Structure 1
Amino acid sequence: MKNESGASGKPVTEGARRVSLVEPTAAGFVVLGISTGAWKTPFPPRRAERRQALAGLSGRAAALRGTPGVRQATVFAAVLRPPGQPKEGEGPAAAYDVVLLVVTDSPAVARDVADAIAAEAPPTAATERLILAGSNVRSMGPVSPRPGGVFLFNFFTGPTMQATLDAWQYTAGWFEQETRLDNSTVILPDAQSHSPFPIINHCRWNSLRQVLPSLLFKRSFRSFVLAAFSEAGVVPHPILYRVHS
């Protein structure tokens, strides 16, 4: 293996794989995440607030699909917090059990959409809301919004955007190799978003079976992937979702 540099500037170690990247898309992205309350287990509670949030965002998505400049508007419902959550002392995990992802013709259009959402009253009685607009800074290939698969939104925190992005790229090849991942869109929030997350990674697998066993049983997930994040000071907040509407 070539002596490549990783997230910490050190040579790539066992478990690392060079990730296959493609040219990022010029599209814009809006992420609207809603937390309807705390999770005490890996599974989101089935509560009235969650049903209301899903219904409210489904209506919003339907309206957005007819808006000029909007390519896609998809509502996701969380199904599981997979292994790799923040450790004790690293702060609370992200708890967005409902997410609306809007794909637009450009980041400028995404900013307009995000501003319009932020100017409106919250669509539900949600306890926490995240609204950001951004662009695609890295890509392993486009993420299909078709139902039937399982989708990841990984909300990363880290010391800087570049350190967080480097840590993602350093570890992404592991997912390509071990879970046959062939798509991923890394969203870079714009400055106006004031996002607590330097980057958000979004991708799709055909089923939980394609990804979950690797996270649970492959030792290199902890010894390489999570260790690399920890060394870089980067904390992943992964949540797996299904398409709701």
Structure 2
Amino acid sequence: MSVTLVHPRPKFARARLTEPPPAGYLHLAAAVEPPPGGIGRPGHSRGKSHLLDLLRAEAEDLASLTEVKRASVYRAAALAPAVGWDPPAGLHRARYDVVLLVETRTPRDIAPARDSAAYRRLRRRLDHAARDVHEMTARCAKCLADVDRGHQGLFQFTYFVAEDPRRTAELWEHLAGWYAAETGLDNSVLLQPLDESASDYSFVAHARWDAGLAAVALRQFTKPSFYRFLGPTLRENRTAAMPVLHHLVQLRDR
């Protein structure tokens, strides 16, 4: 089934994509101190700051593995409201204020990274500290341009739940076109679960801006097209999007 666009405009043309990177991805997200109601700014307690310091050290150990290209830790700056479809059976709300993203050289390298002592320690630590933890192994299905995780910025993880994931993959190209036109976004990767039955989300999109939280929020939520095109198009295609905005805590390249 093809994508249905609501109030389409030539300005929001389908994004021009590049070749997806050959990497594998291990995405671990946790709700440690999410905001009340799941929207707004998360907590920043001393205990959470200590947890992030420990995660940063363990991510450095992960990044030293031959199979791992990069291991990055993120802390949420704000959790935005879900946009689009409200599934009749409900959905697993993405209330994650701490994220680890491990980028391996290929998808085959995910298993040894996941089985490493550093990752097991990190996972146990998050299981103990968080009220909700979600793990997803993935590949890059589509790419606007790869995300630069080598510099601080404002990073977004968007969690998608959809009736038809195949339609959502096509829909994402139109959403990326909207973000490019209205917010200046020039990078994003669409991460597809390697095991769909083990993930609560059809896809997770990742992107970065060279801008602050207030500037990016203004670029999105003050645009009439957000309410006339983006939200209605997601609803029409029975897809929900849950964006969370983050800052980088740690990054290590090899």
Alignment TM-score, normalising by the size of structure 2: 0.85
**What's the counterpart of residue 227 of structure 1?**
232
Residue equivalent to 2:30: 34
Deviates more, 1:192-201 or 1:168-177: 192-201
Q: 2:124 aligns with which of 113, 122, 144?
A: 122
For residues 135 and 230 of structure 2, the distance between their equivalents in structure 1, rounded to whole angstroms, comes to 28
Q: Which amino acid aligns with 1:28?
A: G
For the 8 Å contact 1:114–1:132, the answer to whether it is kept is: no
Deviation at 1:160, TM superposition (A): 2.6
Aligned residues: 240
| 1:164 Cα deviation after fit | 2.0
1:191 paired with 2:216, answer no
The residue aligned with 2:183 is 179
2: CA distance, partners of 1:221 / 1:165? 19
- Structure 1: runs of 5+ lacking an equivalent: none
C-alpha change, 1:85 and 1:44, in structure 2 (3 Å) is farther
Q: Percent identity?
A: 25
Say whether the 8 Å CA contact 2:192–2:204 is kept in structure 1: yes
Alignment of 1:33-182 (within 5 A): 33-40=29-36, 41-48=39-46, 50-82=48-80, 84-85=82-83, 91=91, 93-116=93-116, 117=119, 122-124=124-126, 125-182=129-186
Cα-to-partner distance string for 1:50-94 (whole Å, 9 max, x where unaligned): 334413321221101110121111110000123554787754531
- Report the secondary structure of 2:113's partner residue: helix
For the Cα contact (< 8 Å) 2:163–2:238, is it kept in 1? yes
Please give the alpha-carbon distance, in whole angstroms, between the structure 1 residues aligned to 2:184 and 2:218. 13
- The change in CA–CA distance for 1:44 and 1:186 in structure 2 (over 3 A counts) is same
How far did residue 104 of structure 1 move?
0.8
Deviates further, 50-59 or 196-205: 50-59
Gaps of 5+ in 2: none
Give the equivalent residue in structure 1 for 2:206: 202
Decide whether aligned partners of structure 1 residues 19 and 88 sit closer, same or farther in structure 2, where only a CA change above 3 A counts: closer
Matches within 5 A, 1:207-222: 207-208=211-212, 210-222=215-227
Per-residue CA deviations over 1:174-211 (Å, capped at 9, x if unaligned) read 11111111111111111177101111000100013552
On the 8 A contact 1:111/1:133 being kept in 2, the answer is: no
* CA RMSD, 1 decimal: 2.6
Report the structure, 1 or 2, having the larger helix content.
Answer: 2
In 1: Cα distance, 2:96 partner to 2:6 partner: 35
Give 1:19-30 correspondences, 5 Å limit.
19-30=15-26
Report if the CA contact (8 A) 1:132-1:193 is conserved: no
Mean Cα deviation higher: 82-91 or 25-34: 82-91
Amino acid at match of 2:32: T
Task: Report the 3-state secondary structure (helix = DSSP H, G, I; strand = E; otherwise coil) of the residue aligned with 2:240.
Answer: coil
Separation in 1 of the partners of 2:197 and 2:140? 15
Cα distance, 1:31 vs structure 2: 0.5
